[in-house]
Amino acid sequence: MFSYIAAYLVAGAATACASGPVGWLGPVACLPPPLRLEEQTLTTYRTEYRTAYREVQRTVCRTVPETREEEIRETVMVPRCREEQRQRTVMVPVRREETRQRVVVRTEWREEQRQRTVMVPETEEVERQVRVCVPEWRQEERQRTVMVPEVRHEQRQQNVLVLRTRLREEERQRTVMVPETEEAERQVHVRVPEWREEERQRTVMVPELRHEERQRTVTTVRTVPETQTREVVCYQPVSIPICDPCAGMVGTACQLAAYTQAVNVVVLHSVPEQRTETYTVPVQSFRPETQTYRVRSPSLREEIHTERVPVTTLRPRTETYTVRVPECVPEQQTVNYEVAVCGYRPEAQTFRVWVQSQREEIRTERVPVTTLRPRTETYTVRVPMQREEVETYTVPVCEMRPQTETYTVNVSENVPEVRVRKVPVTTYRKVSEVVTEKVPYRVCEEVPQQVKVWVPVSGND
């Protein structure tokens, strides 16, 4: 805009110099006529793109199910039962007593004096210097551009092929195996358990508990409070002058200034104290004791029992039943639905941010340091002494003796049988269908807009 005005002024000056009187060389002949600026409205065009939709016909292949019945032959294994005599060898238990010897360890206790080294804690306070980072905060104003979503709704239509399921009734036949049960007498060998009581002896170690009083030295720590004066860093707001680098103006800002303040602090010290206490210790020992107890020994004897056993056989029977067979019928429907189209527009936002900075400070503090000092003490220990003894005891030994017996077993056999039944078989065929869809595409348009411009105009006009 400004370059256009400058070019116009230069052209006007050149025209004025050329139209002056001939032979006049003075500076007045080159002066341009007075100019003034006039506001005019110009019409310009900008290019915009919008999304339009056009209808396109396409061919879609759909799958349609068809159900029909087929007869299949299958071989079924029919179970049958028969009786069979078999023999088996059974191990019969036989009990006998056996005398054995074993080595038993006896424990005796004796007292013994020993020494040990105990670490006693000692606490001292040491001054140390610590480097601390003190945080500072300042507020800044920033800008950002956010895309704000706008949603508009459109109405659309679509042709849909719907499959309706219809059931039709059909009578079929099937063969059912009906069970028939009869009772039969059989003889079974049964082993009946018997028990007999025996008296036995055993030696048991019975525990005995007695209490002893002992003494020990215990170190306890007692807390002693102490008041100390320490320097604490505090902050207060202070006004400082600042200069704007863009505008060159001097303003005032608020900043936190640090200062020290004396504060009384209560510090706890740990003081170790020693005292002697008496405690009771339970000491356990064992003494042998002979006990008599009764034992029930199991044994088996054979008996023959006669019992009636139900025997079940299967008899085939043909029956008629009704089946509902599904059929699918296609139907054409038009569905109206609403689509939400989302767009975005830019929007400028201003927000404030707290910016953190840190500075370092060196502080002095007193830290308790604990050291350990070795100390030797004497204590009494009960030391176990073991000795071995040979002990004789009786053990019941069970031996297994083989014995052959005859028993009856029901053997199941499967006999193949050919059967015919009808099975519904579903096949699928492809059907072509023409569907109309809306396809989006971009359209370019020239949109007019009004712009106000300042145009230089000569004063003679």
Which burial class, exposed, middle or buried, applies to 54 when counting CB atoms under 10 A from its CB (0-12, 13-18, 19+)?
exposed
Rounded to an integer, the average pLDDT of 24-36 is 53
Contact present, 365 and 127 (Cβ < 8 Å): yes
Could you write out the DSSP letters of every residue in 348-364? EEEEEEEEEEEEEEEEE
Residue among 451, 269, 274, 291 nearest 366 (CA): 269
Please give the single-letter amino acid code of residue 279: Y
Secondary structure of residue 172 in the 3-state scheme: strand
Residue 34's φ and ψ, nearest 5 degrees, are: -65, 140
Q: Is the pLDDT of residue 253 over 80?
A: no
Structure confidence at residue 27 as a pLDDT band (50, 70, 90): very low
Angle at 311 between CA 306 and CA 312, to 5 degrees: 165
Q: Tell which residue, 431, 422, 197, 215, has the closest CA to residue 321.
A: 422
pLDDT for residue 116 is more than 70? yes
Q: Which amino acid is at 169?
A: E
pLDDT at 306 > cutoff 80: yes
366 to each of 258, 363, 447, how far by Cα in Å? 23, 10, 79
Closest CA to 301 of 428, 228, 193: 193
Task: Indicate the residue type of 138.
Answer: R
pLDDT, tens digit, 9 for 90 and up, residues 411-439 = 888 888 888 888 888 888 888 888 888 88
- Judged by average pLDDT, the poorest of 31-45, 148-162, 171-185 is 31-45
pLDDT of residue 460: 55
Q: Name the band, by pLDDT with cuts 50, 70 and 90, for residue 86.
A: confident
Place of tokens 């712009």: 451
Is residue 324 within 8 Å of residue 168, measured between CB atoms? yes
Please report which confidence band the pLDDT of residue 459 belongs to, taking 50, 70 and 90 as the band edges.
low
What confidence tens digit (pLDDT) does each residue in 134-168 have? 888 888 888 888 888 888 888 888 887 777 777 88
Contacting residues for 405 by C-beta, under 8 A, at least 6 apart:
87, 88, 89, 90, 189
Q: What distance in Å separates the CA atoms of residue 228 and residue 267, rounded to the nearest whole number?
A: 7
pTM exceeds 0.85: no
